[in-house]
Chains A and B, each alone.
Chain A
């Protein structure tokens, strides 16, 4: 099953990378605000069904893909993948 994990800096956590991107976008003339930079992980999961895949992905996030002290995560599953 194809999955995408989105990892983001938690709300309220200073994101200097996002700020730098925002500043650069403004230099290009774009009116943007509150840019935040995270990470995206695409992967295939060997799972019996969507619930199993989601449970595994949550464990992956807690144990490795995200640092729960500073990052939140969101899981997207594509069963047709």
Chain B
């Protein structure tokens, strides 16, 4: 059981030129008990005592070349890559997921939606595994409703890589059967890296943390991250 009376863990929300969900992510994380700070991409280092990093949604660098392809050259992304390499918790949402795949921190790639249409709607998801730092507040097989809003969210990998990822249980959330909004291979909505500390997903949990917005299921994902960040923050003391 997580001690929720422990001090608020510091979660850094990286802001790139073109990020636009950074404030929503910050607000959602603060509401769940984190101390969330937005950090500009040209900073050379993460704030001291950073317990987790969130790469928010948006259109970093105008989606030039390929979505997410240019953000990895930001000075702060070099620091985030080192942070992830040291086992630090990193969550990429939508454009953040695209950045993590382009930076080689997560497998696969996000391609234009099969429909070529921008999709913006609530989608039903299934949690494939609850034993990650990003889904610990969920249960295996639990259904979630979280919105997507993207034009390039079609996750793709070659069949042999998909097989390896299925084998190692790296597909953490899937679109519910028949509800795949973008043509993603194997209905993949979110994948974790082999070490389990870097997670990316196309749906936006930060837009589903208040009943007024139709769903609070996003709080299960972000709340799990806050719990895990709190545990890793204790390690600093």
Contacts and interface: CB of A to CB of B under 8 A. Distances in A.
Interface string A13-51: 110110010000000000000000001000000000000
B157 A69 contact: yes
A65 B65 contact: yes
Interface in B109-159: 109, 111-116, 156-158
* Residue of A13, A17, A67 with highest tally of chain B CB at under 10 A: A67
Contacts of B102: 67
Contacts of B66: 67
Interface residues of B, number: 16
Nearest to B73: A64
Interface residues of A, number: 11
A69 B115 contact: no
Contact of A16 (B108, B113, B158): B113
A16 B109 contact: no
A17 B116 CA distance: 7
A75 interface: no
A17 B66 CA distance: 14
B69 interface: yes
A16 B69 contact: no
B108 A69 contact: yes
A14 B114 contact: yes
Interface of B: 65-66, 69, 102, 108-109, 111-116, 156-158, 183
Which 8 residue pairs are nearest across A and B when measured between Cβ atoms? A69-B109, A16-B116, A16-B114, A20-B116, A67-B109, A70-B109, A16-B112, A67-B66
